[in-house]
Each structure stands twice: as structure tokens, then as C-alpha cells.
Structure 1
Amino acid sequence: MQAFLKGAGAIGTKATREKTAPGTSGENKKQKPIPWVEKYRPKCVAEIAFQEEVVAVLKKTIEGADLPNLLFYGPPGTGKTSTILAAARELFGPELYRKRVLELNASDERGIQVVREKVKTFAKLAVAGSRLDGKPAPPFKIIILDEADSMTNAAQAALRRTMERESKTTRFCLICNYISRIIEPLTSRCSKFRFKPLTDRIQEERLRDICAKENVQCNNETINMLIDVSEGDLRKAITYLQCAARLTGGKDITEQVIVEISGAVPSDLIDGLLAACHSSSFEKLEIVVKEVDKCLVDGADEYLQMIALSAVMMQQFTQSS
């Protein structure tokens, strides 16, 4: 009987070894495909590009200084969410990250009930645990509210009081595109950082790096077209690049492919519309375009600004005809 059990044990051990042996089918399984936007998201603060002010503040925080409540605002795709996520990973490490960080994004409700339940409950939790690597863990938690400008005024007002009560153990990071939609009591309690649209050079470096790692063939004209249609939004540029790579198999991605994927209006068409006005009206229209661009940067509604610009263009065409 003992010999039988030993034999069975040996067989079981052998089967286990065969299952766990390196080079078996379990390890050879292909990894699940990850969107390139997530795959190449910055993993640490040092990898954040073109946002020197906020990077300097976060580096000081990681070195041991306290972290204030933060308000990140600016155009989409400039690294707002990536920056605070990278900083949180460096502050807490992988073992404490899930316990110390609460992220609420666009898929969550933004009413006052969310502030009363999810935010308040998480903010009241005690700060416990330590990092396994021996580094000191900050004595606070981080609540990230992405697209905070979509929150109702009542929810923002309730959040203001929560920020005051839980200031000893919780830090808030509000992320939005338009700071004008955040109530003044919240903005006054946060350190504000404006994220600038990425320069063409920064976007070109990132896109070429991704092309090299993914074995994608893009010429200079295609890269320039990606930069042009993305308008400073690196996330949009990377998404278009991945779609084009899937469509063409990663070979010979042309400008026409990018235009078809993005649905962008060619710049020469816009130039033609502007040139259709006579010289005096053209100068006036150019001024209006600059004013509209400034309003958008300051946080105005895109739809209303587009209507205003279209109305001016219609007026100019009527006068010139």
C-alpha cells in the first residue's frame, strides 16, 4: 500500500513538474493585446514630457516633501492622468497602490451621492501598511477625480467640505479640461497646474519611438500628418497610429490612411475658406480665429465657439458676394 501511495505521489509530482516546467504551453501563451496608449503610458514621473513645473513639484514630493491638493487642467491627451498615476505608483509602490489610491473616471456617476458615499468612505479609512521595499510610505491617501468639470455644482460643494475634514490623511487630485467649470472654493484649495499642448518635437519623438518598438513603417510625411490631426493630443496620435498599423499590417502607412482614419479636414481646405474672403475681411476673420482659439484655451465651450466662428464666416461670405 505504501509503495502504491509513493508511486502515486511520484506520478503526481511528475505531472506537476510537467505542468510547471519552463517552456510549456502555459508560459508560451501570448500576452493579451494592450492598447498602445496604455502600453506606453509613462511609468514614472521622470518619463513625463514637456510639463516641467508639475514634474518638479512631484519630484520634491517623492523625495519627502508633503503633497498639496492638486488641480490639473488643460487640453486632453497632454498627460494629466498619466502624471498623477505615475506619481502615485512611485509614492506607494505596487503593494500599497490599490489600497491608497481611489480613481473615479468618466464612467462613474458625478452627482452628490458619489461624494457622500465613495469619496467620503474612502477618505475616512485609516492609513495603514508599509512598503515591502523598505522605503517610507507617505501618511496619506490620494483620491483622483478625473473629468471633475463634469461634476454638478452640488457635488463640488460637498467635496469642498470633505477636503477640509480629511486634510490630514487624504490628498485630492482634480483633473479637468476647463478650469472655469470648477467652483472657486475648490480651486482655492488646490495647487493649480496647466498642462500645455505637447510640441511637435515631443510628439514626433514619442511616435517614432513607438514605431521602432512596434516595427511600424512611417515616413516623415505620415508622422507630420499624425501630429497635425492630433493637435497636441498625444493620446489621439497614438490611437490613430495603432489603428493605421492594424489596417495596413504596420507597413507603408501613408498620409491618406491617417486622413481616412481620423476624419480630419485637410488644412488646405481651411486655408481655401479663409482665402475666399477679400483681404480686409480675411484679416478680420483671422483675428476672430485667434480670439476663438484663446477662448477655447481659457475653457469656453467648443460647440458655442464653433457656432460663433461659423456665423462670422457666413457674414464675411455674404458681404464679399
Structure 2
Amino acid sequence: MASILMQKSQQADQYEKERLEHTPWVEKYRPKNLDDVAAQDHAVKVLKKTIESANLPHMLFYGPPGTGKTSTILALSKQLYGPNLYKSRVLELNASDERGISIVRQKIKNFARLTVSNPTKDDLENYPCPPYKIIILDEADSMTNDAQSALRRTIENYSSVTRFCLICNYITRIIDPLASRCSKFRFKSLNNDNALNRLKYIAEEEHINLNRNEPVLEEVLKISGGDLRKAITFLQSATKLNNSLKGAQDLEDEDVQMLGEEGETNADGTITISSVREIAGVISDSVINEIAEVIKAKDHKRIITEINEIILQGWSAQQVLDQLHDKFILDDQINSLAKNGIAKTLFTVDKRLNNGTDEHVQLLDLCLQVAKIL
């Protein structure tokens, strides 16, 4: 009997190990409790106090993507209920998928009115288990105004047995009557120290072979722009690419060297800044500098040639736009009047790209308009 139990335990451990191997790192390293949440000190301190009293208000989390809003409420819920009660006490919905008034009247209302399940003795000993459920509405700013108005009444009617947590990027899109019923928590973009420590921890856990002569993780954070989720995804993608190239036994030495020169990996199998930039779709500085010089020279034929080359290589027009913005707006040699004109042109082209216009035409128009301003 003991041997059978041991065998089952080993099989369960093996299954869990395989499951984690195939889990995206964003989910694998999602904070398990509030202490693991990086950078959001104010929100974490307040929420820890609410856990002690077990009297949670309705909450509204807002801030940029990838700053830990969903992770924080999930970690809080697990600390409140534990693994057994969590499934029956917490309802997580993505309001961008189910954003109409019908979802409020049906799924949310039905869950909110349910009586609270009784915790076991073990649950009560290890977790606070307060007598209410939690409904998490992710991307609540995409809900229609009618749905938000209906939600307001649901929050009022069932507040004795249900707490709501609304998560959004833009608080201005939440109607005032709904926002005033919630305790607001602003999540700011992660600073480099907190995010860097998290990336270092992941790199150690996954045994990532980083180039020690380059600030690779700092470059990952710079490219991701304070979005830790994006940074972790870039790091995982770069690692997978590196491992696949390292494991290709049939590559000749010269082929491996060629890949290193193109910026995808080093011949010694380490992840470099250039490999991270390649994964993230960031255009090399030499290419951007060349486009900028051609624009300043007002050479229309070379401008057309350069843009044709950019399109043929498959670079994103939005990425070209972002990097040209930094190149021109941060250039001290260009006067303020010219910068204003360039900025206006960049904004106009950005709007057109977001509306789905042709990338090739818009890039050509951008370069010619900027050349005219300079």
C-alpha cells in the first residue's frame, strides 16, 4: 500500500514538473502572495491591513498594462481563502470579452446572490476565510455604460455577501457612480530596481545563459517600457531561440557565426542585447541613423530606397515611427519650432496607422514631410 502511494506521489510530482515546464513564464512566476508583488508598495501595504481585519472594500485597480493589477488581486484572494475555497469563492471575468448588460444581469448577478460556502476546519485555521465572495472584473473600462450602470445596482444589493474588484487601464472610462463606490488603487509603471530583481530571479531559476559583458536584462526592461509582463515574455522568447539554435547539431561553424553576426545569438550560445532587440522587433540604431541622415539630406531617391528596404525586411511601421520620434525629438541640434512640426507629423501618421492605412505609403509620407520641415 505504501509503495502504491509513493508511486502515485512520484507520478503527481512528475506531472506537476512537466506542467510547469510548458507553462509561460508570465504565469509560472506570477506572485503567489502580496509579498511577491513588486514595486506597488502603497497598494500592498493597504491590502495587507485589510487582510488582517478581513473586511475588504469594493476595489478599483487602475494603471498601465503589466504592472501587477491582476496578479495582486489573485494573490490577495489566495491569501484570504486558500486553495480549497478559492474556486468556489472567486469569480474572474474578462470584461473585454463579456462587456454587455446581459453578462451583468446573468452571470455576475447569479454568482453575487449565491450564499457563501462554509469553510472547513483546516481552512479556518490557516486562512481568514471572510464571509463573502469576490468578483474580479478585468478590463472593466471596456464595459458599456449601460453595463456599468447595471453593475452599480448589483454592487449595492449584494454587498453583504460579495465584494467587487474592477481592473482597468483608464479610470476615466469608468462611470463616476461606479468609481465612487470603490476604494481606488493606482498601479504605477515599475521602476528599474524592482523589475530588474524579478528578472534576475527568473534568470537564475531558469539557468539562463546571459552575456556577462552586456547589461542584457537592463535592455529588456528598457524595450518593455515598464511592462514587466512584456519583459518576461521577451526574456522567455530570447531563451527559447537561443536553446533551439544551440541544440541544432547539424549547423556548420560558419553558419553559427553568421547567425551571431546578424544579432540572433552568439557563437558561444549566450543571450546578448542584439538577440533581445531582434526578438522584440527593435530596429538597429545603424538603420535608424541612416534613415535620419537621408531625411536630413533631403535626398528623395534615397528616402524611397531606404523605406522600400525597411518594408521588404518586414519591420513594423509603428516601431519605425517610435524610434524616429526618439531620434528627432531628443536631438538637441534641432530647434523647437522644427520639433513641433515633426511631432505633429508623427502624431498624424500614428493616427493613420492605427486606423489601418497602408504602412509603406505612410512611412514614405512621414519621411518626406519631416525632410520638408527640416
Please indicate the TM-score interval, normalised by the length of the shorter structure: 0.7 to 0.9
Equivalences for residues 1-321 of structure 1 within 5 A? 17=3, 21=7, 28=14, 30-32=17-19, 33-105=22-94, 108-131=97-120, 132-133=122-123, 134=125, 135-219=127-211, 220-249=214-243, 251-265=269-283, 269-270=323-324, 271-274=326-329, 275=331, 278-281=334-337, 284=340, 317=370, 320-321=373-374
Aligned counterparts of 1:27 and 1:169: Cα–Cα separation in 2: 37
Take 1:128 and 1:24, find their aligned partners in 2: how far apart are those partners? Answer: 33
> Aligned partners of 2:354 and 2:106: how far apart in 1?
38
Change (3 A) 1:75 1:24: closer
Give aligned pairs, total. Answer: 292
Give the CA deviation at 1:106. Answer: 5.5
3-state DSSP of counterpart to 2:215:
helix
Structure 1 stretch displaced more, 147-156 or 251-260:
251-260
How far off its partner does 1:58 sit?
Answer: 0.9
1:171 deviates by: 0.7
3-state SS in 1 of match to 2:198: helix
CA distance in structure 2 between the partners assigned to 1:284 and 1:317 by the alignment: 11
Question: What percentage of residue pairs aligned between the two structures are identical?
Answer: 49
Cα distance 1:125–1:26, how it changes in 2: closer, same or farther (>3 A)? Answer: closer
Check whether the contact 2:242–2:271 (CA below 8 A) recurs between aligned residues.
yes
The 3 A distance-change label for structure 1 pair 123 and 201 is: same
List runs of 5+ in structure 2 lacking aligned partners: 247-268, 289-322, 356-362
- My pick for the range that moved more, 68-77 or 99-108, is 99-108
Cα gap change, 1:305 to 1:153, in 2 (>3 Å): farther
**Cα distance 1:248–1:316, how it changes in 2: closer, same or farther (>3 A)?**
same
CA pair 263-166 structure 1, distance change in 2 beyond 3 A: same
Q: Which residue of 2 aligns with 1:5?
A: none
Give the drift of 1:24.
6.8
TM-score if structure 2 supplies the norm length? 0.70
Q: CA deviation at 1:318?
A: 6.1
Q: Which moved more, 1:218-227 or 1:48-57?
A: 218-227
- Deviation (angstroms), 1:303: 5.1
Q: Which amino acid aligns with 1:161?
A: R
TM-aligned CA distance change 1:286 to 1:41, over 3 Å: farther
Q: Deviations over 1:5-63 (max 9, x none)?
A: xxxxxxxx7xx956853797776555222111111111111111111121111101111
Please say if residues 160 and 186 of structure 1, whose CA atoms lie closer than 8 Å, have aligned partners that are also in contact: yes
CA contact (8 A) 2:132 2:163 kept: yes
Q: Deviations over 1:157-202 (max 9, x none)?
A: 1101101111111110000111111111111111111100001111
Distance 2:194 2:341 in 1: 31
**Cα deviation, residue 84, structure 1:** 0.3
How big is the shift at 1:266? Answer: 5.4
SS at match of 1:31: helix
Distance in 1, matches of 2:10 and 2:112, equals: 46
Q: Which has the higher contact order (CA 8 A, sep 6+)?
A: 1
RMSD, aligned α-carbons: 3.1
AA in 2 matched with 1:31: E
Structure 2 equivalent of residue 4 of structure 1: none
| Distance of 1:141 and 1:303 partners within structure 2 | 43
TM-score, normalisation: structure 1: 0.80
Letter in 1 for 2:61: F
Closer/same/farther in 2, CA of residues 45 and 26 from structure 1, 3 Å limit:
closer
**SS of 1:91 mapped into structure 2:** helix
